[in-house]
Amino acid sequence: MSTAPAAEATAQAVMLPGWRLSARATWALVWLVFYFLPTTINVLSVLSEHKRDGRPIAAWEPMCWEYSSALGGLAALPLVYLGIRRAPGWARAPLRTLGLHLVMMAAYGAVHIGLMMGLRVVVYAAVGGHYHSAGSWADIFLYEFRKDSLTYLIAAAILTMGRQLVRLSRVVALVEAQQAAPVSAPATAPAVVEPPARLELKVGTRRVFVAPEEIIQVSAAGKYVEVMTAERVHLVRRSLADIQSDLPPQLFVRVHRSRLLNRATIQRVDSRPSGDLDITLTTGLTVTASRRYKAELLQA
């Protein structure tokens, strides 16, 4: 459709209808507020309490304590993204999903605590002092890990809900763009050549006939294409564009310059921060879709 490029640009530009920041800028703002707003409040609270109790303290000390924690949390944040992206899903594999999140939670705590303590030691050394931690490293890890577990869960919930809002906003943008498009007078449609009921594939010296609905995906492989069905993969010496012309356009969609997918096999679509997509098929296979073809996929 003629509105696809405009709709895709609109979807990329907004996080929610009426929100003008890009998704990437919005996520950066969300995480900066998430980590640094409570941190700043804590610094001001510590300074206020010491002043009230008549216990003077240099402002850089609570700033060192709190902002080292925030920076460590930001550095560990990609582990939350990794946990969300790699988890197979609670409905499909709850035990594997739980196990992966527990591993990512422990890694998050280790990265956060390690960087936080390291930054404090460096800052104190830079001003000629020595950082004294209360208790042993094991005690510190257990104390901080309880808080890090909660932080990981909250960040994972924010990320999951945010991604759902991004998908919703893109669908809304596409619908609005289609509704705003001017309606032109119907023109005489050219004759359409119906694709064959079965696709003929020349595999070596053999000819194989496959019904289009049996094909899961078609992917380019050099001078060949791989035609995947539930039973096997056929290697055919044809171009991807050539074989696409023989497939029903309402059934197949191009998701990458080197891949076609059967729409009926698409089970789930997950967005990446880069704008690309991860598509999970009914077979359990996950393939990557380029953002160049996102509009065509979302309009399906």
Q: Which residue has the higher pLDDT, 137 or 275?
A: 275
What DSSP string runs through 168-232?
HHHHHHHHHHHHHSPPPPP-PPPP--PPPSSEEEEETTEEEEE-GGGEEEEEEETTEEEEEESS-
State pTM to two decimals.
0.54
pLDDT at 77 over 70: yes
- The reported pLDDT for the residue numbered 2 is 37
The reported pLDDT for the residue numbered 287 is: 87
Query: Which residue's structure tokens are 């808080």?
Result: 147
Q: What is the mean pLDDT of residues 239-258?
A: 88
Task: Say yes or no to pLDDT of 13 above 50.
Answer: no
Which pLDDT belongs to residue 191? 55
Please say if the pLDDT value at position 51 is more than 80.
yes
**Residues of the chain above pLDDT 70, percent:** 81
* Predicted local confidence at residue 62, as pLDDT: 93
